[in-house]
Each structure stands twice: as C-alpha cells, then as structure tokens.
Amino acid sequence: MKNTIPIAVASRSFSRHPVLRSELLEQYSDVRFNDRGVCLNGESLIELARERRKLIIGLEQINEAILTALPELEVISKYGVGTDMLDKRALIRHGIRLGWTGGVNKRSVTELAIAFMISLLREVPLTNLEIREGTWKNRKGKQLSERTVGIIGCGNIGKDLTPILRAFGCTVLAHDILDFPEFYEANQVESVTLEELLRRADIVTLHVPLDDSTRNMLSAERLELMKPGAVLINAARGGLVDEAVVKRMLIEGRLAGAGFDVFATEPPDDPELLRLPNFLATPHIGGSSEEAILAMGRAAIKGLDDNRIPTADYPPGR
C-alpha cells in the first residue's frame, strides 16, 4: 500500500528523471513535482512545498524564512551531498529532520577531477582552440603519471580519488582537518599541512565542503605558495578559491592551468576568466553522471524515511 503523506520535489533534475519519478511514485501517492524546469527559491519554493510534510531538495536554499512559511514541513531529504544551502541552525530550531547520505556521487566527481588533470597537463583546452582556428601545433604537455598530487579534503571523494592516482604512480599528499592514519598508511599517502601541500604539489585538487572554516581557504596569500607551473582543480564548491587571483596567475603563467566545475557565482560572471586558453570550465556537472543521478535520487527517496535532526557536526557535507 502506498504512503499517503504529501511530498514535494523541488529539484529540477529529480523531477524530470523518469526512473526517479517512477520509483518515488511507487512508494508515495501524493507527490508534487517541480515541473516548471526552473530553480525554485523564496516564494516559488514555498508555493511548491506549502502543506507538504516532506520535501526533496537539490540546490535550493533552505533558511529561516522558508521554514517559518512551511509549518507543516517535517522532513527535508537531500538530493546530492552538498549542504552549504542548508541553514542547519534553522533546521534544528524548527525540529526538521534531514535525510542525507554522503559519498553517493563520489566516483562521478573523482572521474571529472581526473579528466581535468589529464586535459590540463596535456593542454587540451589550448590545443582544441588552436585547431578550431586552423593552427596545427604539436604541443608536448605532461603526463599525470608520477606527478605529485595534493588532495585538500580526504573525505569520501578524496578517499575514492587516492587509489586511482596511486595507480598512475602519483605521489599523493593529503590535508584534512581530520586524521585518517590507517587509510594513509594503506594507500601510501603523506599527511601534510595545507601550506606544505601547496608548495610541493604539481596538481592541487579541492574536495571539501563550503562552510565558515573553508570559505576562501585558497586566498591570494595561499595561492601564491603554489609551485610555478602547477595545476589547480576545484570540483568541490564555489567560494573556496579567490577566482580573481587564479585568473591573474593564469594570465601571468604562474599557474599552468586550472579546471573549475564550480564557481562563487553560478553561472560564472567573469567572461575573461572563461576565455583563458589554460582554463577549463564545466557547469557544476561533477556529481551529475547518469549513474550518480540515480544513486543520489534513490538516496533522497530513502532519506524521506531514514533521517534525523541535524547537529553541529552532522551532516558534514563530505
């Protein structure tokens, strides 16, 4: 027998996915989907979720005003792993239970990070532009194999990425606020300070959540510590990196390349950065492989019933 509790699905991606819609409707009979195809925020989100007891969200912002306007709401289930759009204190104040599963899209993000690394080391963005413009130039580039890679954040994605890099023969450095000695030992990872990682790594890749402790963690001062000719990857969250400084370092040749899947403002509003031949950009697709979408969606469905009140350290967004 289907559950009759009223549900709303704010996520556009979930709402337009036929398999996820079908699987949710197999369990719940009263579901209101976001069929407008737009990102819902503020009043439009309140309108969709009004008188609903459970809500599936993706990138929608949940704050005090939203929760105050939705007194019937009991559960929010997260489609995806990022939690920077959630005001956890407001959730706690309103007694809202949260369904969240970490790591469901880790392989999707890992593979995009590897694609960024190889593409930038082999100068794929530049050579693609050149050949489109009629220039045939045999640029040499560099291999990923045997390079030193620094992973900032060794949570689900960092741990998934590590053995793949080791298979390339890479030296792996890791920096995290938590210690994972058994994992580090098993995978020959060197745990270092953030400053040491930036000084030593040929490639720096970010895999941390966005919160008050990580916002602008790669400031101008820290970016200047990076090796000349290094590559920077951000497939984590916008707001972790000073994008203006990255642009300057790319123009000056201090960085060989940068690959960003996420930006402080999305869509990004710096066309000069996007046009740089040593910059590779994608529109926040790291966790959006078909396989990851199904995994995230099924975790969100499960989270409608498997949930708990957030705490200061839950969910960690890692």
Candidate list 266, 275, 290, 291, residue with the active-site label = 266
Rounded distance, CA 205 to CA 104, Å? 19
Residue corresponding to tokens 């199904």 = 294
Residue corresponding to tokens 């970016």 = 223
237 included as an active-site residue:
yes
Query: How far separated are the first and last CA of the chain, in Å rounded?
Result: 36
Rounded distance, CA 283 to CA 55, Å? 25
Contacts of 95 (CB under 8 A, 6+ apart): 309
Q: Is the dihedral of CA 23, 26, 27, 30 positive or negative?
A: positive
Cβ pair 92, 63 in contact under 8 A: no
Contacts of 58 (CB under 8 A, 6+ apart): 10, 11, 12, 13, 14, 79, 80
Cβ pair 236, 153 in contact under 8 A: yes
3-state helix, strand, coil in the chain (%, to 5): 35, 20, 45
- 3-state class (DSSP) for residue 86: strand
Candidate list 12, 52, 207, 284, residue with the active-site label = 284
- 3-state class (DSSP) for residue 254: coil
Cβ pair 108, 288 in contact under 8 A: yes
Candidate list 12, 17, 207, 237, residue with the active-site label = 237
290 included as an active-site residue:
no
74 included as an active-site residue:
no
b vs e for 214-247, b when ≥16 Cβ sit within 10 Å of the residue's Cβ? Answer: beebbeeebbebbbeebbbbbbbbbbbbbbebbb
Catalytic residues, by residue number, are 237, 266, 284
